[in-house]
Structures are given as structure tokens and as C-alpha cells.
Structure 1
Amino acid sequence: MKKKILVIGPSWVGDSVMAQPLYQRLHQRHPNLELHVFAPAWTLPLLARMPEVAKAHLNPFGHGALRLGERWKVARQLAAERFDQAIVLPNSLKSALIPLFASIPLRTGFLGESRYWILNDARELDEQALPMMVERFCALAEDKGAPLPRPLSHPRLALTNASQQAALDKLKLDASRPAVAFCPGAEYGPAKRWPARHFAELARRFDAAGYAVWLFGSGKDREVGDDISRLSGGLAVNLCGATGLEEAIDLIGLTRLAVCNDSGLMHVAAALDKPLVALYGSSSPDFTPPLSTRAAIVSLNLDCSPCFERTCPYGHTDCLEKMEPDRVWQAALPLLPVHTQEKTQ
């Protein structure tokens, strides 16, 4: 029997990547599933690269925007799709209104923000049993009270050679030299961003080992990208703000390794199955680790971290400032080809 499910997707890029194992699990449970996702514009390039998603619907509502009348209109358009179930991933009251207004008969999600009267398949979250975000997402694919099957699958974004070549041509990048990706941004705040001078020193290490260094991020990261490029003596190519997410996905897919702050692009690199060094300062890999078997996590595990603050409450950000470039380089080496390791010895 065919089943049609609408997922109300997350607002963050990293969370959107971590939702893909849920989509995979839903297809396992419902072989004839038609899966749709309601999501903000900046996450749509991810959904386009997830073969599990039959159709993406634009969520036009930003953070804090209730706009009840507009939500009703959007929901009534979705009602024409005749969904059997909605799964609501964000924990806000607003996010649960669309399935209600769309008259979707089964509305699944965790309790939060007094929305128990909106969700008729409401779940209580056991944070101890489900410590990771990806586990919490995947639990919503199961029947209420059913255990979560493990191990969970990992996200996998699809790529095409044609789109990758188009991105290379557009940005006039030389692909003859192997490249590594640096992702120096973190939308959440500065307490998750490794210092530019450390990235620059690491760029010099990779250049000496024969690698080009490409910097990825949004327009908000252009300034830090300029700093890294300048401090490295021009060895790092700053692509921050020069690519859309779709082009960043294609180009990261061409690199040999990624070095990333705990950010959306870290999860993108993991979903592209890139060898990955993930840098954790104020956040914790226990909650949102890179979902990959080829990731090395670097964290100083100071007494004051993880604090999960956007800015350091002590004003020093020692958890990142004291994370020396050599420590990250040593974490990267085992993930690189053997000839690179021999060259650096």
C-alpha cells in the first residue's frame, strides 16, 4: 500500500543533513513511500541531493514569524497532496501548525512548547536513551514506544560529475592539484570558530605537502576567509560567499579531506564521505557528531567546555585558541594517502 508522508524539516543545514537517516528509515519501513519535506530555502540544495526525497516544499517562514494567515494559505495548498502522516522535527509550536492546518490525519513529533493538542502522535523525549540528535530524528520513524533499531545509517548526498565540473569552471579552479577543504565558519557563533591564524598555519602545512586549500562558507564568512588567505600568504583560496550551497557541496565532493568547525558544512563533508577532521570548542560531539566512519574529532575537553554558548562566557575561548595547528595536522595525517604521510616524515 502506498504511503505519503510530509516531514517538517529543520532550519539549520547541519540538522537537515542529520535528518537523512530518518528519511532512509522511513523508506525501509514503507517500501512504497512517497516522501515530501517542507523546508527553508537554504536547505533545498541538500534535499535535491537526497534520493529519498520525492519533493521539497518551500517553507517561507523565518525564525519567530507566526503569520497565521499565511501559514493557513500554505497549509491548504499542501492539503491537496493528501498526506497520510506528518513528522515534525523542530520542537516549536509554529512548526506543528502547518500539518494541523493541512488536515494531515497523523501528526507525529516530540512534546514541546505546549503543542500536545496539535500533535495526535506526541512522544516524550528521553534524552538519556536518545543522546544524539540523529537518534531523536530517527525515533520518530518508529511506532510509539518501539525501540530504535541500531546501527543507524549515515547520510549520503548524491553528486554528478557534470555539476562538479560546472562548479570548477564557474570559479576557475585548478583541479590538477589535490585539494583539501577548510570550513572556518560556524553560523551558531564565535565560540565554535577555530582562529584564522591557526587555519592559516594549517594551510601552509597542507601546501608544503602538495595540496591546494579551498575555503568554504557563506557570505558571513568572507571576512575570516580573507584573513586566512592573507595570513597564509595567499596559499588558501577564499571561496566563502562565492558559492551557493549547491556548488559548495559539489566542490567539497572533489576534495581529499575536510577540516571543519562544528558547522553545517562539517555535516555536509561527512555526508559526502570525505575524510574529516572536526574541531569542537563550545559544543559537544556527543550530541551532533559527524556521521561518518572516517572522521577524527579534535577537542581539548577543558573543564569549561562544552558550554554550548555562542560566545565564550569567560572571554578567552581557550577551547579553540589553545588548539594548536600541529594537533589538527597530526589528526589529519592518518586520513591522508600513504604517500603524503611518507612525504611529511
Structure 2
Amino acid sequence: MAKYLIVGPSWVGDMVMAQSLFSRLKKDDENAIIDVIGPAWSAPILARMAEVRNAITLETGHGEWGIKTRQKLGKKLQAEQYDKAIILPRSWKSALVPFFAKIPIRVGFHGEQRFVLLTERRKLDKGILNQTVKRFTSLGVEQNKAYPPTPLINPKLLVDQDNQMHLLSQLNLSKDKPAIALMAGAEFGPSKQWPLKHFHEVAQHFINKGYQIWVLGGPKDKEDADKIVQDLGAYAFNLCGKTKLVDAIDLLAYAEQAISNDSGLMHVAAAVGTYVHGIYGSTSELFTPPLTEKKTIHNLHLDCSPCFKRNCPLGHTNCQNDLTPDNVIKTV
């Protein structure tokens, strides 16, 4: 029985995809104990992963060094006597807690010259490990099986049906109409965002077809969501800022389909079994696909994409603007 400490990623979608690693560790050793370090927001998501024993919160902001905080946490974790640490981020600071915890085996990819901090520095072969999920999973297997690792296990988040029913009542959502969830936000930047007017047109179409529309996102997405549901009537709901991240798990599990930018919530929807329509342009479904068989990918595959830039370097964002609502509507 091995005892693992995993240093998790800092983005919602990446943390969901990291569950593939946790599942692989459990497949290879059903008695494995897995604890995961992550930002405070990740604890409720990690609680919905059956493979994870403990979610450990690192009390530093995104991008902060916080060396003293990491040293304090590492020393505290020495008592756990972990057998192995797997460090998913490639930054120098991300390897500090396992080092201070004196974990004997510390595995991660080459990055920022982590010679002392890691005991095993793996080559990141981007040609073979061409997806985030492959990179994460590869660190959990022996090197001779890592390029690429197989099998890849899709994430599967646990759903709290009691909370689901509570949310439907609390938010006055319809229990009689099928729901389509729209996720119009993208933390990465505007190049990943399908136009709001396109989301609005899709929402209008399915309201007319007898669906209810839920727009999900954080507080900063509320204003955009208001534009999507404007004048659509009683069955178009702007839920941005009204729910916690963990609530989105249960709501997305209830929805019949989800239409989403390449975002963290898209990966949440995939992990709860909802049919996903993923909209790509500046990023690629070849690198970060929704990890489910129940999906349709929408991508114009223009010559200038994917550019992986936060803002369109050509100033037109045609990869998003020219993907018309009809293209999505006919597949839904």
C-alpha cells in the first residue's frame, strides 16, 4: 500500500483532469492512499473524487512564492510519512512542500531547474504526451510505461442528489422542463470566448423549443450572462454568482446538455456525464478535450488557430465569431 502526496494544478479544468491520475493510481493499487494539495477553491471538488482521502489547502495566492507557508506545511506533513510525491505543475515553488515534507520519492517533469527538489525528473515529450491528461497520468506510472500511459481513465465526479434537489428549489428552477446549461466565461482570456450574441441566439432557440436555460459561471460572469438571458422570459436563468463551484457539479449533472467555451466548467460537465458541446478556436480539443465519450466538438480549424493567446493576435477572433449559432443548434 503506497501513500501519495499529489501537488495539484491551479485551474479548475486541470484539477478535474488530474482525477485521471488519481484513478490510475487506484487501479494499480486499490489500497493506495492519495492526498492532494491545492488552492482553497479546489477542496470541494476534490471531496467529490472517490479516490482522494484528503484535500490539503495551500494558503497562498495564485502566483505567490509563499516559501515560509510552504515550509510550514511541509514540516507539518512530515508526520504523514508519505512514500511518494507527484508534482503536477512544473514550477520551482510547487515542489517545495514535498521537499520540506522529506518525502523520499518526488517525481515531476523537468522545469525551472528543480535538481534538488525532485528525486526523479521526467522528460516532457510533448509529441507523445500531447494532452494534459496524458502528462498528468504519465507521472503516476513507471517511466517505461509513461510514453504514453495507458489506459487513460476519464474523470468521474460524485453527485450529491440531495444538494441537487435543494438547488432546484432554492433557485426556483423548473423540474418539468429539460435544462441546457451555457458556460460563457473563460478565465484564460477573451480569445476563448464565443460571442455573447451567439449564446443568446442559441438560448432563444431552445427556450422556444421548450427547454429551460441555465447560464453558469462566477460572479465576474454575471454581467455577460445578463446579456445572454435578456428578454428570454421566465425559463432563462442567470445563475452566475448565485452558486458555489461545488453546486455547479450537481446542477450540471441534472442538465441534459451543456454548451461551453473551453473552460473549467466544461470539464466538470464532462465528469458528471452530461452531454458536452465544447467550443474551441484559440485552443485545441487535441490538447484539452472534454474527457467523455458524450461530446461534440465545435471548431472551425482556421489557418490561424490554435494560437493559444489570451487575445487574438490578428485582432478579429474569427475562430469564435465565424462559428455561427446554427452550427451548434443543429447538433444539439
TM-score, length of structure 1 as denominator length: 0.93
- Superposed CA deviations along residues 102-155 of structure 1, whole A, max 9, x for unmatched, are 111110110101112211011011111110010000001111232444341111
Q: Which aligned pairs between 1:89-238 and structure 2 lie closer than 5 A? A: 89-147=88-146, 148-230=148-230, 232=232, 236-238=236-238
Instruction: Give the counterpart letter for 1:4 in structure 2.
Output: K
Counterpart position of 2:50: 51
Instruction: Give the counterpart letter for 2:25 in structure 1.
Output: L
* SS at structure 2 position matched to 1:253: helix
- 8 A contact 2:259–2:279 mirrored in 1: yes
Counterpart position of 1:326: 326
Determine the C-alpha separation between the residues in 2 that align with 1:325 and 1:308: 23
Instruction: Tell me the CA shift for residue 11 of structure 1.
Output: 0.4
**CA 1:327–1:211 in structure 2 vs 1: closer, same or farther (change >3 Å)?**
same
* SS at structure 2 position matched to 1:37: strand
Determine the C-alpha separation between the residues in 2 that align with 1:203 and 1:65: 40
Instruction: Give the counterpart letter for 1:82 in structure 2.
Output: Q
Q: Is 2:299 aligned against 1:299?
A: yes
Q: Which aligned pairs between 1:238-253 and structure 2 lie closer than 5 A? A: 238-253=238-253
Determine the C-alpha separation between the residues in 1 that align with 2:318 and 2:174: 37
Instruction: Tell me the CA shift for residue 63 of structure 1.
Output: 2.4
Determine the C-alpha separation between the residues in 2 that align with 1:144 and 1:300: 37
Determine the C-alpha separation between the residues in 2 that align with 1:202 and 1:299: 17
Determine the C-alpha separation between the residues in 2 that align with 1:104 and 1:172: 49
Determine the C-alpha separation between the residues in 2 that align with 1:67 and 1:192: 31
* SS at structure 2 position matched to 1:329: helix
- Superposed CA deviations along residues 293-319 of structure 1, whole A, max 9, x for unmatched, are 010000111111111011111221111
Counterpart position of 1:341: none
Counterpart position of 2:8: 9
- 8 A contact 2:134–2:149 mirrored in 1: no
Instruction: Tell me the CA shift for residue 165 of structure 1.
Output: 1.1
- 8 A contact 1:283–1:307 mirrored in 2: yes
**Regions of 4+ moved over 6 Å:** none
Determine the C-alpha separation between the residues in 2 that align with 1:314 and 1:236: 34
- 8 A contact 1:49–1:159 mirrored in 2: yes
Determine the C-alpha separation between the residues in 2 that align with 1:260 and 1:48: 24
Structure 1, unmatched stretches of 5+, are: 333-345
Instruction: Tell me the CA shift for residue 248 of structure 1.
Output: 1.1
- Superposed CA deviations along residues 163-218 of structure 1, whole A, max 9, x for unmatched, are 11122222222222111100000110110011111001001111122110000001
Counterpart position of 1:315: 315
Determine the C-alpha separation between the residues in 2 that align with 1:49 and 1:70: 26
* SS at structure 1 position matched to 2:56: strand
**CA 1:307–1:231 in structure 2 vs 1: closer, same or farther (change >3 Å)?**
farther
- Deviation larger for 227-236 or 240-249: 227-236
**CA 1:299–1:234 in structure 2 vs 1: closer, same or farther (change >3 Å)?**
farther
Counterpart position of 1:73: 72
**CA 1:238–1:261 in structure 2 vs 1: closer, same or farther (change >3 Å)?**
same
- 8 A contact 1:76–1:102 mirrored in 2: yes
Q: Is 2:279 aligned against 1:279?
A: yes
Instruction: Give the counterpart letter for 2:298 in structure 1.
Output: V
Quote the RMSD (CA, aligned, Å).
1.3
- Deviation larger for 258-267 or 67-76: 67-76
Instruction: Give the counterpart letter for 1:118 in structure 2.
Output: L
TM-score, length of structure 2 as denominator length: 0.97
**CA 1:60–1:3 in structure 2 vs 1: closer, same or farther (change >3 Å)?**
same
* SS at structure 2 position matched to 1:113: coil
* SS at structure 2 position matched to 1:214: strand
Q: How many residues get paired?
A: 331
Instruction: Tell me the CA shift for residue 235 of structure 1.
Output: 5.1
What is the identity percentage for the equivalent residue pairs of Structure 1 and Structure 2?
Answer: 46
Structure 2, unmatched stretches of 5+, are: none
Instruction: Give the counterpart letter for 1:242 in structure 2.
Output: K
Determine the C-alpha separation between the residues in 1 that align with 2:236 and 2:187: 21
Counterpart position of 1:340: none
